[in-house]
Chain A
């Protein structure tokens, strides 16, 4: 089989954050896919994963929403599904696991949806995607290697550990390994999975300022020059709420918060606009966290 010559196509579920508050995440994932000639095939007629609201209201709804996304993907012939948003990834993975292990529940949910769930999908988070599809093909394309960074995983990518099976539950390493492939030195810090304040971002900004502030403070004090994230919620709290954080801590932390996909874009020398870096609240200046520029970026072919 000449699979190398065929264009790689992978199922793709953006979710709502990537359409709204985290447009830059979507832009950077798309830019990466383009740069590596990967087609992202969106799940047809996709819907909300339920986010943080559904499971507080109605258990069946909380199961049926992600299940419908999975059913649509499966019906479209997808076997793998890239889910960049950590919350969507968590919801889809947990629901798939729950339904696979409970035939009675599955039957109920299928009745609610009015369709079959279909065969199970391999659900990929952004780190897995990057590690499998991008890192092996980096070759000599890294033109702006990173300096010292802090990888921050948050909670949704790693918990519950029984289902998501991340490498090390309290001290995950996968993102660190990707960043090391981009030349970065990743700091060894104990805040990788600490809570950022999550959905209190809207209702209790004081709590978020306190919790996210600790993360920003620790990363800065331990010498990191950028915080790398893989979750829209974490990004919002660390980036958008920076003014509150600085006010609360009486400091002027200006460490930028960058999505993993953006980080790769920076390393490859993609334009700031392509990966949405201009949309951040905390200014992103790659000269602050990249080692010297080695050579000119490869221009579009």
Chain B
């Protein structure tokens, strides 16, 4: 006879505010098979767990129903508590009366009744539960890191330094990401390249790291500990082994007028190019879209010139399949282009630039060698207007969030400008100055008080060009909305940070969830900030939300720590929620007829044929067999099986029907 214990949690007031918890416990006690029932303020706390453990021992329980929050968070907690009290953890079930009940209904009798109904379904289910044993699977101790910006670099180095193999996949020809484009960094004004490039070199030279640049992830299969990652190595048209990086080809390429992506379109590059002089690897690739040979069939100048014969026009994309135990997503972000802003001229005014373009302008290695000059005529601007929140915190623009980094980098921009153009005046239009961070507020104060940046609290309605000047019309809301008009020489828009292009399709390939803005979603906003909902896939850096460098690096180290933790064991335990083909006494051994439709439709190739032999070793029947190590418990075969011979452990048809019947019988 089943002896079930029911534990109703108040979740502080999350549940008890709308559900009468003592009454739910009372009702549950009347369900046949329930021998114990109680309620408590925080069932997940230590005293709460102790209640469960004591009840198991005292009442000799054969099953436990914890009626509380979503099982997503605390099912492992309660199952562990049961195991500690000697009850098989898979004899513990959760009824979700928070997300499915108290949070979505008003306080009423009906709400309490619904909670009771939910409890009843789980009592009926757990009566039919069987003790299950966890499945052990081996862990492949190689990590794939996608994205070679500062977050990907940090995660790769941390994992590699712990002694594990890392494959770093980068879409562009060089690693480095946005940080390589920056001039100086806040709040210390140290040179971005000086702190990043040594780490890029470290990645390239690390014995545990394999770099795959100019490569993109095509697909991901498998599961935690045992992923299969297919990577497309795009044809570089240059043999990396032969190329010495002398750079002769890049200087002689006849196609020279291609907007340079690294310089944000403020300089040109040839068709065979290295994105920037400090690139890692420092070897060129041919941009086939713009290359004269690939577009017209004639040229081959680079091939003729190359002293080592490294140019190979016939090279093809290569598909590489990697096996890995964990994946770190570090694909970063992008910023809106000035064309996004109709009120600021749809990107048609050359002297209206975005923050990243200003970074390149201020950078010693940039198109102006660090001099602040107007893109239109090369003169030195005497008045520069910086616009914070260009797009951010503006639901009308579809971006309701704060891009977080702009307040700080705008303050930095005003300083860099002032340090280079002493006679110049920087103006900043802002909504709020959000300078929360170590030494951050001091930094913005320094921009205002020492470097004389003129901060105007208000929005800019329009910018237009007149007689070579940019007329910036805005309002000063600290002066009661007084209209302000500034004749500027240059305008820098701190445009919103947005998800990197292709983020959505990558998330779909990897089965990782993402938010409305296509940023990747963490498993829990507070307690699992570097995990995704897909076990074994972790997040690092600004692919999750706009982040500054220290935050990206911290997240990367956090993700690396999770990977290293995962790799610290040679085996993983997995929940035994897998499909199983039934076996019956002989004959007929199993109701499986051996049609193997299940084998065809299994998305994980987990189903094989199994021969049933008699004592003499003769094959008497061939039935389906499901490999529990490969099965992901998706249930497709259960639904597909024509003879109903397959069932899901922990979610058998019998159990699910019992849940449904528990609801129906009550009404």
Contact = CB atoms under 8 A, between A and B. Distances in A.
A170 B464 CA distance: 11
B342 A169 contact: yes
A168 B462 CA distance: 14
Contacts of A170: 342-343, 346, 462
Given A189-B464, A190-B465, 12 more contacts: A168-B342, A168-B346, A169-B342, A170-B342, A170-B343, A170-B346, A170-B462, A171-B342, A171-B346, A190-B345, A190-B462, A190-B464
A171 B462 CA distance: 11
Interface in A162-214: 168-171, 189-190
B280 to A, nearest CB: 43
Interface string B333-345: 0000000001101
Interface string B304-346: 0000000000000000000000000000000000000011011
Instruction: Pick the most buried of B346, B462, B464, B465: most chain A CB atoms within 10 A of its CB.
Output: B464
A190 B343 CA distance: 9
Interface string A145-173: 00000000000000000000000111100
Contacts of A189: 464
Contacts of B465: 190
Interface string B344-381: 01100000000000000000000000000000000000
A279 B464 CA distance: 34
Contacts of B462: 170, 190
A171 B339 CA distance: 13
10 contacts: A168-B342, A168-B346, A169-B342, A170-B343, A170-B462, A171-B342, A171-B346, A189-B464, A190-B345, A190-B464
Interface of B: 342-343, 345-346, 462, 464-465
Contacts of B345: 190
Contacts of A171: 342, 346
Nearest to A169: B342
A143 B345 CA distance: 35
A171 B463 CA distance: 12
A53 B345 CA distance: 34
Contacts, number: 14
A163 to B, nearest CB: 14
Which 4 A-B residue pairs are closest in the complex by CB-CB distance?
A190-B464, A170-B342, A170-B343, A169-B342
Nearest to A168: B342
B537 to A, nearest CB: 38
B380 to A, nearest CB: 25
Contacts of A168: 342, 346
The secondary structure that dominates the A interface is loop
Contacts of B343: 170
A234 to B, nearest CB: 18
A168 B345 CA distance: 11
Interface in A116-155: none
A55 B342 CA distance: 29
Contacts of B346: 168, 170-171
B317 to A, nearest CB: 40
A186 to B, nearest CB: 15
B469 to A, nearest CB: 13
A170 B347 CA distance: 13
A60 to B, nearest CB: 28
A274 B227 CA distance: 79
A97 to B, nearest CB: 18
Contacts of A169: 342
Nearest to B344: A170
Nearest to A190: B464
A158 to B, nearest CB: 11
A169 B342 CA distance: 7
Nearest to A162: B396
A168 B343 CA distance: 10
Contacts of A190: 345, 462, 464-465
Nearest to A188: B348
A169 B464 CA distance: 15
B588 to A, nearest CB: 61
Contacts of B342: 168-171
A170 B461 CA distance: 11
Nearest to B467: A221
A24 B517 CA distance: 51
Nearest to B463: A190
B347 to A, nearest CB: 11
- A168, A171, A190 — most chain B CB neighbours (10 Å): A190
B423 to A, nearest CB: 28
Contacts of B464: 189-190
Nearest to A194: B462
Nearest to A170: B342
A139 B342 CA distance: 34
A16 B284 CA distance: 70
B510 to A, nearest CB: 35
Which of A168, A169, A170, A171 gathers most chain B CB within 10 Å? Answer: A170
A25 B150 CA distance: 63
A189 B467 CA distance: 12
A171 B344 CA distance: 10
B487 to A, nearest CB: 14
A171 B348 CA distance: 11
Question: Could you say which of A168, A171, A189 has the most chain B C-beta atoms within 10 Å of its C-beta?
Answer: A171
A224 to B, nearest CB: 14
A162 to B, nearest CB: 10
A169 B345 CA distance: 11
Interface in A70-84: none
A269 to B, nearest CB: 36
Interface string A252-283: 00000000000000000000000000000000
B198 to A, nearest CB: 46
A119 B390 CA distance: 41
Nearest to B343: A170
A168 B339 CA distance: 12
A301 B275 CA distance: 69
A190 B462 CA distance: 9
A90 B465 CA distance: 30
B116 to A, nearest CB: 36
Nearest to A172: B342
A190 B465 CA distance: 8
A171 B343 CA distance: 8
A170 B345 CA distance: 8
A190 B348 CA distance: 12
A169 B462 CA distance: 12
